[in-house]
Amino acid sequence: MRILVLGATGAAGGSLFDMALVSPLICEVRTLSRRRIESDSAHHVGVEHADLLDYRPVADAFAGIDAAFYCIGRSVSQVGDEGAYRQLAFEGAEIAARQLAVASPAAAFHYLSGQGASLQSRQMWARVKAEAERRLIELHGAVCWRPGAIDARRTEGWPFFYPMTIRTMRWIFPSRRYYVRGEDLGRAMIEVAATNARARILENPEIRAIADQVRARERSPRPG
């Protein structure tokens, strides 16, 4: 597969990027980011682009791929107001999905949502994410990911307290509902993309179950 990762410097996108570089299912991983992403891998093609609301200047990055992953976002505590948060979590994702539909009509669009996304939630971020899910599924058959706390090597874009929170979660809440290692999220994303899935919402327990299956396969001795 050839995939495109938007937001490859954050916890989810960075974990996916790292796993894609070593996955036998991936022949090319493209990244679209505001700054250069260093990599020694021949499978990586990096594109720099600052405007998250207009991808027309880098339309070629969306061409000839099998799946695109929109992992761009920031913690709601780091965004000034609902309008700014909606621009990143909703409008930016929709613009990226439209660009993908033009450049690679057969490709799947994957959207990083979050555990607790709900139209009925009292939390603004959860309502915005749920609205984005609904629209992206209706218009683009998107696959939406709702991980819990992501224990990842890359944490750009997260609030300062996030690393400490994750260290606590490792010991107190290592449950399948609330916690996932970044590498396992990446494994699950690649595995689901390989099935050409559409119009799905994956919660944290299912994400971990898929990752378990992939890791078991990785440990199995190869025939011959």
Count of Cβ atoms closer than 10 Å to residue 210 Cβ: 20
Q: What is the pLDDT averaged over residues 159-169? A: 63
| Residue range 183-205: mean pLDDT, rounded | 97
Predicted confidence at residue 163, as pLDDT, reads 63
- 44 to each of 15, 54, 129, how far by Cα in Å? 14, 23, 29
Q: What is the mean pLDDT of residues 49-60?
A: 94
Quick one: what percent of the chain has pLDDT higher than 90?
73
* pLDDT in the model for residue 145: 98
Q: What is the pLDDT of residue 172?
A: 60
Average pLDDT over residues 123-133: 96
Looking at residue 160, its pLDDT comes to 57
* More confident position, 93 or 149: 93
Instruction: Identify the pLDDT of residue 173.
Output: 61
Whether the pLDDT of residue 224 is over 60: the answer is: no
CA atoms within 13 A on the CB side of 146: 20
pLDDT greater than 70 at residue 114: yes
Are 212 and 41 in contact by the 8 Å Cβ rule? The answer is no
- Are 124 and 80 contacting, i.e. CB atoms less than 8 angstroms apart? no
Question: Residue type for 81, please?
Answer: D
Q: Which among 198, 82, 197, 193 has a CA at the least distance from the CA of 139?
A: 198
**Residue-level pLDDT at 222:** 66
Q: Does the structure show a pLDDT above 90 at 157?
A: no
Check pLDDT > 80 for residue 30.
Answer: yes
DSSP state of 34: S
Of 62, 60, 59, 58, whose CA–CA distance to 48 is shortest?
A: 58
Q: Is the pLDDT of residue 46 over 70?
A: yes
Res. 15: pLDDT tops 70: yes
Confidence of residue 57 (pLDDT cuts 50, 70, 90): very high
User: Across 81-148, where does the E strand assignment appear?
Assistant: 108-112, 143-146
pLDDT, greater one: 94 or 10: 94
* Type of residue at 90: F
